[in-house]
Structure 1
């Protein structure tokens, strides 16, 4: 279970560090080719979501790695479940209707919650 946790948590953390970093640092015009929904959401919300993604990725990896409050990994994984539960309707109400990645991330986050609950 330990290896499975690190694989799923590591993949989620890498994805959210990248995606969150883009949302924090790039302009709306730079984000538009990758994220068609950015025109419908205020830039401050996009930046906030990006910051939460980066913090969640760190919360998924650092607490279990250091042994300091490893239960925060469960909270971070639950946060990613909630994030995707909010992201799916945003994508469905837009033009593209592409939610395969969101469903994959949701399932990975659910598995990570379960593994973190068992392991941590």
Structure 2
């Protein structure tokens, strides 16, 4: 179970890192032309960059606290925050009629829920 949680955290961390880098460092004009990023046309550059920074923090929060053993409770807390982010993403993509992206966000949400459940419960770092 511990290994499965580490793999899930690694996968979700990679997703968060990729999304965070693109939203933080790719200009809005270029980002809005990419598949799945149509929502950026109506969003401010500041909002997009803020989401990018939050995703970068999520990438760090899913892995680093457990690796260094400092405040590992942040791992499941980060997973819960990711769930909230994915709910917002699913609502946004649903409004745009992008059902395949809603399903992708649902998969990311399920990974985060698994991490939160596992790290708050049977495989917590405090036990």
Q: Tell me the TM-score normalized by structure 2.
A: 0.89
After superposition, give the CA deviation of every residue in 1:44-87 in whole Å (9 maximum; x if it has no partner): 11100110010011011000111111001011101100100111
Query: For each residue in 1:1-22, what CA deviation from the matched residue of structure 2 results, as whole angstroms up to 9, or x when unmatched?
Result: 2101100000000010011110
When the two chains are superposed, the root-mean-square deviation of aligned CA atoms in Å is 1.2
Deviation at 1:96, TM superposition (A): 3.1
Give 1:15-30 correspondences, 5 Å limit.
Answer: 15-30=15-30
Equivalent residue for 1:114?
Answer: 117
Q: After TM superposition, which residue ranges in structure 1, 4 or more long, deviate above 2 angstroms? A: 95-98
Structure 1 segments unaligned to the other structure (5+ residues): none
Structure 2 unaligned regions, length at least 5 = none
Q: Aligned to 2:96, which of 94, 97, 104? A: 94
> 1:52 maps to what in 2?
54
Distance 1:7 1:39 in 2: 34
| SS state at 1:99 partner | helix
2-side partners of 1:5 and 1:95: how far apart? 32
Q: Distance in 1 between matches of 2:46 and 2:60?
A: 21
Aligned length: 120
